[in-house]
Amino acid sequence: GQQVMQIPQYQHVQEGEDFTTYCNSSTTLSNIQWYKQRPGGHPVFLIQLVKSGEVKKQKRLTFQFGEAKKNSSLHITATQTTDVGTYFCAGLDTNAGKSTFGDGTTLTVKP
Protein backbone atom coordinates (compact mmCIF):
# COMPACT_ATOMS: atom_id res chain seq x y z
CA GLY A 1 0.00 0.00 0.00
CA GLN A 2 0.87 3.65 -0.09
CA GLN A 3 3.68 4.76 2.19
CA VAL A 4 4.51 8.31 3.15
CA MET A 5 7.87 8.90 4.75
CA GLN A 6 8.89 12.05 6.51
CA ILE A 7 12.33 13.15 7.65
CA PRO A 8 13.77 14.09 10.00
CA GLN A 9 11.79 12.69 12.89
CA TYR A 10 13.06 15.35 15.25
CA GLN A 11 14.73 18.70 14.71
CA HIS A 12 16.12 20.96 17.39
CA VAL A 13 17.06 24.47 16.32
CA GLN A 14 18.11 27.73 17.88
CA GLU A 15 15.58 30.51 17.51
CA GLY A 16 16.28 32.32 14.28
CA GLU A 17 17.64 29.29 12.45
CA ASP A 18 15.86 27.79 9.48
CA PHE A 19 14.04 24.45 9.49
CA THR A 20 13.03 22.05 6.73
CA THR A 21 11.03 18.83 6.78
CA TYR A 22 10.76 16.50 3.80
CA CYS A 23 7.96 14.21 2.76
CA ASN A 24 8.29 11.35 0.25
CA SER A 25 5.52 9.14 -1.07
CA SER A 26 5.87 5.68 -2.58
CA THR A 27 3.11 6.55 -5.05
CA THR A 28 2.21 9.57 -7.15
CA LEU A 29 -0.08 11.89 -5.26
CA SER A 30 -3.08 13.90 -6.33
CA ASN A 31 -2.36 16.44 -3.67
CA ILE A 32 -0.46 16.86 -0.47
CA GLN A 33 -1.52 18.63 2.67
CA TRP A 34 0.51 19.90 5.57
CA TYR A 35 -0.64 20.08 9.17
CA LYS A 36 0.77 21.40 12.43
CA GLN A 37 0.03 19.79 15.75
CA ARG A 38 0.99 21.58 18.92
CA PRO A 39 1.78 19.46 22.00
CA GLY A 40 -1.51 18.28 23.44
CA GLY A 41 -3.47 19.67 20.53
CA HIS A 42 -5.04 18.40 17.36
CA PRO A 43 -3.74 18.73 13.81
CA VAL A 44 -4.42 22.06 12.17
CA PHE A 45 -4.54 22.35 8.42
CA LEU A 46 -1.81 24.58 6.99
CA ILE A 47 -1.98 24.23 3.23
CA GLN A 48 -2.73 22.01 0.27
CA LEU A 49 -0.57 21.65 -2.84
CA VAL A 50 -2.04 20.24 -6.01
CA LYS A 51 0.06 21.14 -9.03
CA SER A 52 3.36 19.61 -10.05
CA GLY A 53 6.21 21.89 -8.99
CA GLU A 54 3.89 24.13 -7.01
CA VAL A 55 5.37 26.50 -4.46
CA LYS A 56 3.29 28.35 -1.89
CA LYS A 57 4.30 30.74 0.84
CA GLN A 58 2.69 31.67 4.10
CA LYS A 59 4.75 34.37 5.78
CA ARG A 60 7.91 32.51 6.92
CA LEU A 61 6.68 29.12 5.68
CA THR A 62 7.43 27.88 2.16
CA PHE A 63 5.81 24.74 0.81
CA GLN A 64 6.93 22.89 -2.30
CA PHE A 65 5.43 20.02 -4.28
CA GLY A 66 7.84 18.03 -6.40
CA GLU A 67 7.67 17.83 -10.17
CA ALA A 68 6.83 14.13 -10.01
CA LYS A 69 4.21 14.78 -7.32
CA LYS A 70 5.84 12.24 -5.04
CA ASN A 71 7.64 14.53 -2.65
CA SER A 72 7.14 17.75 -0.81
CA SER A 73 8.89 19.99 1.65
CA LEU A 74 8.08 22.58 4.26
CA HIS A 75 10.68 25.22 5.02
CA ILE A 76 10.47 27.69 7.87
CA THR A 77 12.72 30.73 7.74
CA ALA A 78 14.02 32.23 10.97
CA THR A 79 12.18 29.97 13.37
CA GLN A 80 10.40 31.37 16.39
CA THR A 81 9.38 29.66 19.62
CA THR A 82 5.78 29.71 18.39
CA ASP A 83 6.79 27.35 15.59
CA VAL A 84 7.25 24.42 17.97
CA GLY A 85 5.12 21.39 17.28
CA THR A 86 4.90 18.40 15.03
CA TYR A 87 4.49 18.97 11.31
CA PHE A 88 2.72 16.27 9.34
CA CYS A 89 2.31 15.83 5.64
CA ALA A 90 -0.60 13.84 4.24
CA GLY A 91 -0.66 12.64 0.67
CA LEU A 92 -3.81 11.83 -1.27
CA ASP A 93 -3.50 8.83 -3.55
CA THR A 94 -6.52 8.91 -5.85
CA ASN A 95 -6.14 5.23 -6.69
CA ALA A 96 -6.46 4.38 -3.03
CA GLY A 97 -9.03 7.13 -2.47
CA LYS A 98 -7.56 8.21 0.82
CA SER A 99 -4.82 10.24 2.41
CA THR A 100 -1.89 8.77 4.30
CA PHE A 101 -0.07 10.75 6.93
CA GLY A 102 3.67 10.86 7.28
CA ASP A 103 5.20 10.12 10.67
CA GLY A 104 5.70 13.80 11.35
CA THR A 105 8.67 15.96 12.22
CA THR A 106 8.77 17.36 15.72
CA LEU A 107 10.38 20.76 15.90
CA THR A 108 11.74 22.26 19.09
CA VAL A 109 13.08 25.79 19.17
CA LYS A 110 15.54 26.96 21.79
CA PRO A 111 15.10 30.64 22.64
In the complex, the residues that contact another protein under the rule CB under 8 A are: 1, 31, 33, 35, 41-45, 48, 88, 90, 98-104, 106
Residue 77 burial (CB < 10 Å; 0-12/13-18/19+)? middle
Closest approach of Cβ 109 to another protein, in Å? 18
Cis bond upstream, residue 8 (ω within 30): yes
Closest approach of Cβ 43 to another protein, in Å? 5
Closest approach of Cβ 44 to another protein, in Å? 7
Rounded to whole angstroms, how far apart are CA atoms 8 and 2?
19
* Helices vs strands, H then E, count in the chain: 0, 11
Q: For another protein, which is the closer residue by CB, 12 or 98?
A: 98
Rounded to whole angstroms, how far apart are CA atoms 90 and 69?
13
Q: For another protein, which is the closer residue by CB, 17 or 56?
A: 56
Q: For another protein, which is the closer residue by CB, 60 or 101?
A: 101
